[in-house]
């Protein structure tokens, strides 16, 4: 039996040989850690583009636009990578718009602006940038959009984000499709709201948008939501409102355990078929907003073991990475595979993998079996490409990690490691 941990082929990380360290493509994580230090985010740009291509190929027969959900990972080099392959972008803040414009200004017309709390300043900036559309989440927001558009004398294309009241099995923090959630407009009210906006010269009813949650593993809820959207689009057509786009949102999940049966291509095909079945006969452009599915498995957080500490029956592996670098386990009790970069021989032992932050919640795994590990060893926290760096912080005054993007034979630093000077810079005494 191999001494190496099993890593699913759906990930871009693997051991090239029994005596070789974990690698991303042609690049050893040992060498990348030596070159760039730890903690370190390492991403496979090749897998990101491959996943984008799965959606584009599955929908090649229909006019469509894959709008990458910037909130999943907003690093500029990644945005540029997607833009160069024709992707659009789903943003939820003015800051994310600025990131898209900095990385790929030519992609402004492929941006949809979602989010429940858009400010007047954010709306103005998006109008000036001539984005594709606003996904409007309340009647009050639509009124503000009309006001700002009139003041700037720019027509605003909008889609109501309707709430279809469809249940999707996922973590309650990332479920968004029920009436009790803060997102969207009751689908039963949408027809009235579109009719009211029809006569406003500064508003253009352009689409209908829906988003039911994140990390959803079944295609059925997406199809059910899209059936309700399709019915609304037909009703709006009867009202003389021609809808140009239907935005299916994002939310297609991955397998963080990466079981052997997880097939990304099959998942995308199943998802696309569910949407197509609901939209059959409708002449609309289909917008998608995948985030996690494109980038999560493409990333790993590489960390060095500082100490192996035994308290009674418990063994703690203390890393130089912490919850400020990857908060998902502490926030959602999320599962991430953790593997040694250069595995040692011997039987796996049960440990808690933790960070140095002064919180009991600062952990990556509890009671996890892992190959023998010693201080100075490197480990990789897998599936960390989404909601890792994007949710990072400077808690405990810890500088955030560096990021490296691997594309083909090149491993490129795309964000330098923060310094204490960066942390102290904005403050005054």
Question: CA-CA-CA-CA torsion for 180, 184, 187, 188, nearest 10 degrees?
Answer: 70
DSSP states of 122-154 as a string?
HHHHHHHHT-SEEEE-SHHHHHHHHHHHHHHT-
Whether the CA torsion 243, 119, 189, 114 is positive or negative: it is: positive
**Burial per residue of 45-73, b for 16 or more beta-carbon CB atoms within 10 angstroms, e otherwise:** bbbbbebbebbbebbeeeebbbbbbbbbb
Q: Structure tokens of 369?
A: 């079996």
Ranges of H-type helices in 167-285: 187-197, 220-238, 264-279
- The number of C-alpha atoms within 13 Å of 143 and in the hemisphere containing its C-beta is 3
Ranges of H-type helices in 296-412: 328-332
From the annotation, which residues make up the binding site for substrate?
Answer: 292, 328, 332, 359, 387
Residue from 358, 421, 428, 429 carrying the catalytic annotation: 358
240's torsion region: left (phi>0), alpha (psi -120 to 50) or beta?
left
From the annotation, which residues make up the binding site for pyridoxal 5'-phosphate?
Answer: 251, 289-292, 387
- The number of C-alpha atoms within 13 Å of 428 and in the hemisphere containing its C-beta is 0
From the annotation, which residues make up the binding site?
Answer: 251, 289-292, 328, 332, 359, 387
Q: Structure tokens of 384?
A: 């960390």
Q: H or E segment at 365? A: strand 363-370
Q: Is 358 a catalytic residue?
A: yes
d(C-alpha 403, C-alpha 413), whole Å: 6
Classify strands 245-247 and 349-354 as parallel, antiparallel or unpaired.
unpaired
d(C-alpha 409, C-alpha 113), whole Å: 35
Question: CA-CA-CA-CA torsion for 382, 342, 322, 365, nearest 10 degrees?
Answer: 60
Identify which of 92, 222, 228 has the alpha carbon closest to the alpha carbon of residue 170. 222
d(C-alpha 48, C-alpha 27), whole Å: 17
Classify strands 402-407 and 410-415 as parallel, antiparallel or unpaired.
antiparallel
d(C-alpha 341, C-alpha 348), whole Å: 15
Residues noted as catalytic: 358
């Amino acid at each position: 039996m191999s001494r190496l941990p099993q890593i699913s082929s759906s990930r871009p990380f693997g051991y090239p040989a029994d005596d070789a360290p974990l690698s991303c493509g042609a690049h050893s994580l040992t060498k990348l850690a030596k070159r760039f230090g730890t903690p370190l985010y390492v991403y496979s740009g090749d897998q990101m583009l491959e996943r984008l291509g799965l959606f584009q190929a599955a929908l090649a027969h229909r006019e469509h636009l894959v709008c990458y959900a910037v909130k999943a990972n907003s690093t500029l080099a990644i945005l540029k990578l997607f833009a160069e392959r024709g992707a659009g972008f789903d943003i939820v803040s003015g800051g994310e718009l600025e990131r898209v414009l900095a990385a790929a200004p030519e992609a402004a017309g492929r941006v949809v602006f979602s989010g429940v709390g858009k400010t007047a300043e954010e709306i103005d900036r998006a109008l000036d940038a001539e984005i594709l559309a606003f996904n409007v989440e309340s009647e009050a927001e639509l009124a503000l959009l009309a006001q700002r558009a009139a003041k700037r004398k720019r027509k605003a294309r909008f889609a109501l984000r309707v709430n279809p009241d469809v249940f999707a099995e996922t973590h309650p923090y990332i479920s968004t499709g029920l009436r009790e959630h803060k997102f969207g407009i009751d689908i039963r009210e949408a027809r009235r709201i579109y009719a009211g906006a029809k006569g406003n010269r500064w508003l253009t009813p352009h689409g209908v948008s829906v988003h039911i949650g994140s990390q959803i593993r079944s295609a059925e809820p997406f199809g059910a939501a899209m059936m309700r959207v399709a019915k609304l689009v037909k009703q709006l057509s009867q009202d003389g409102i021609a809808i140009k786009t239907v935005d299916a949102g994002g939310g297609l999940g991955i397998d963080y355990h990466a079981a052997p049966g997880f097939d990304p291509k099959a998942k995308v095909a199943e998802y696309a078929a569910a949407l197509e079945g609901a939209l059959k006969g409708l002449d609309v452009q289909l917008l998608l907003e995948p985030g996690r599915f494109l980038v999560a498995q493409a990333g790993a957080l590489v960390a060095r073991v500082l100490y192996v500490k035994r308290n009674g029956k418990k063994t703690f592996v203390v890393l130089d990475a912490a919850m400020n670098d990857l908060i998902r386990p502490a926030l959602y009790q999320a599962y991430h595979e953790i593997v040694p970069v250069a595995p040692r021989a011997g039987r796996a032992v049960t440990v808690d993998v933790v960070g140095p932050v002064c919180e009991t919640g600062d952990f990556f795994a509890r009671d996890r079996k892992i190959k023998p590990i010693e201080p100075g060893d490197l480990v990789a926290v897998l599936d960390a490409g989404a909601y890792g760096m994007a949710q990072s912080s400077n808690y405990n005054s810890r500088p955030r990690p560096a990021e490296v993007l691997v594309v083909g034979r090149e491993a490129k630093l795309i964000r330098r490691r923060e310094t204490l000077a960066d942390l102290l810079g904005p403050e005054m005494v």
